[in-house]
Amino acid sequence: MGSTAAEPTTLPLTRASVVAAHALIKPYIHLTPVQTNTTLSTLASTPQSPEALKGTPWEGQPPARPKIKLFFKCENFQRIGAFKARGAFHAVRRLVERQGLEEVRRRGVVTHSSGNHAQALALAAQTFAIPAHIVMPAISTPSKIAGTRAHGARIYFSGPTAPEREAVVADVLRETGATLVPPYDHPDVILGQGTMALEFAAQVDELVGGRAELGVHREGGRGLDAVITPCGGGGMLAGNAVALRGTGVRVFGAEPSFQGADDARRGVERGERVRSVRSLTIADGLRTPLGEWNWGVVADEEFVGGLYAVTERNIRDAMRLVLERVKCVVEPSAVVGLAAVLFNEEFRGVVEREAGEEGWNVGVVFSGGNTTVEAIAQIFREVPEERAERQEGVVGMDGERVAENVAG
């Protein structure tokens, strides 16, 4: 339900607009923490073993030897447990500026989401006493459904794909006259998501300014060299890219490869946006195709330096490491960027080539933590798609092998 043209009053996709968005939503969001972890930085800087690369596209090739210090922007500690609160609050505040609060209250708002934007819009609407109508796939995580309902939203269920969601949204729009607040494909949402990049860069600058040993640059106290974020609909990746353009910080995106969920990567390679995705990757927040507005940013190498795909096994292994080593509760979508840093030799090779001996300070966004103990337990059981993945020969290292690499 994207559009190639926004309202005349929509702000341009510039860093200045992100700064304005941050000022607008600051009273309603958390300044989420940035964490470091020596073990994960060591793992990222350790070459993968030949055994680990067996069955991957990089089998038989010399492993990359990047030097990386990791910094984690913990949006799992954001309101509603995910970064989506940023875009939702900005979109609602801008909507109120355009229409007036009473008119927005009269009409209400509507969106479709697998869970995090659903909860975020429900919270933003509740904050301003605005009725919220939320379309959610019937297979959404139960905790996300419960969280959305807890903020007073009316929920409508749909099939899992974007076209199925959008069909139900169209019905709700006809019935209610509510205003659509897209989950990712709108400038107001993109700018809201980009506010995390402003915070992230400033926080890392402060950290390495006080303790240079936290980063790779011993002289000059330079902060982030790169940021990598998960990419589903692309609002977060596009927002970070807009916010950081011209600052010297490179921006990259990461996606699941399972059942074609790496649509942004494939689309950029082909020069044409992939409009439909039907994947049941465990990274449920990344099952949507890249939006039209977001495509305009993500496909532009002046904004995004590359997109990298990871397997289901890679995602589980990264999630295990975060749970056990960082002591953070994260959902699978949140660790796709970390999985690319640890297991995708193409990304690791970019760092090795471009950073040289000095290395890079790499910022990884943990996009959310909306999961349950039961869901985590299920993720770590062997499931049919993992067996299929092994048969296809695209399995990366597991957590135990990574640990052995470091010990060795």
Of the three residues 180, 209, 240, the one that is the final residue of a domain is 180
Give CA–CA dist 95/88, Å, rounded.
10
How confident is the model at residue 7, as a pLDDT? 54
Alpha helices in 62-186 (DSSP H): 84-99, 101-107, 116-127, 142-150, 162-176
Strand partners, 387: none
Query: Would you call 333 exposed, middle or buried from its count of C-beta atoms within 10 A (0-12, 13-18, 19+)?
Result: buried
Show the domain range for 278: 34-81+187-407
Residue with tokens 């055994």: 51
Let me know whether 336 and 380 are in one domain. Answer: yes
Same domain, 220 and 175: no
Of 145, 180, 215, which closes a domain? Answer: 180
Which of 41, 114, 143, 367 is an active site residue? 114
Q: Are residues 42 and 163 in the same domain?
A: no
Verify that 130 and 146 share a domain, yes or no.
yes
In a domain, 4, yes or no: no
Residues 399 and 370 in one domain: yes
Residues 129, 266, single domain; the answer is no
| Collapsed DSSP state (helix, strand, coil) of residue 186 | coil
Q: pLDDT tens for the chain, 408 residues: list them.
A: 444 344 546 789 999 999 999 999 999 999 999 999 999 999 999 999 999 999 999 999 999 999 999 999 999 999 999 999 999 999 999 999 999 999 999 999 999 887 889 999 999 999 999 999 999 989 888 888 998 999 999 999 999 877 888 899 999 999 999 999 999 999 999 999 999 999 999 999 999 998 888 999 987 678 999 999 999 999 999 999 999 999 999 999 999 999 999 999 999 999 999 988 888 899 988 988 999 999 999 999 999 999 999 999 999 999 999 999 999 999 999 999 999 999 999 999 999 999 988 999 999 999 999 888 988 998 998 544 554 444 443 333 333 333 333 222
In a domain, 21, yes or no: no
Annotated catalytic residue 114: yes
Which pLDDT score, from 0 to 100, does residue 139 have?
86
Residue 20 belongs to a domain: no
Does residue 116 belong to any structural domain of this protein?
yes
Boundary of a domain, candidates 138, 158, 180: 180
Instruction: Provide the terminal-to-terminal Cα distance of the chain, rounded to the nearest Å.
Output: 51
Looking at the fold, whether 242 and 269 belong to one and the same domain comes out as yes
Query: CB of 133 within 8 A of CB of 153?
Result: yes
11 occurs within a structural domain: no
Q: Does residue 228 sit in the same domain as residue 138?
A: no
> Do 97 and 215 fall within a single domain?
no
Q: Supply the CATH number for residue 129's domain.
A: 3.40.50.1100
Number of domains making up the chain: 2
Are 44 and 96 part of one and the same domain? no
356 within a domain of the structure (yes/no): yes
User: Is residue 260 in some structural domain?
Assistant: yes
Reply yes or no on whether 26 is catalytic. no
Question: Residue 16: inside a domain, yes or no?
Answer: no
The answer on 96 and 61 residing in a single domain is no
Of 41, 45, 73, 84, catalytic: 84
- Give the Å distances, CA to CA, from 310 to 4, 157, 339, 347, 394: 30, 29, 7, 11, 9
- The reply to whether 158 and 213 lie within a common domain is no
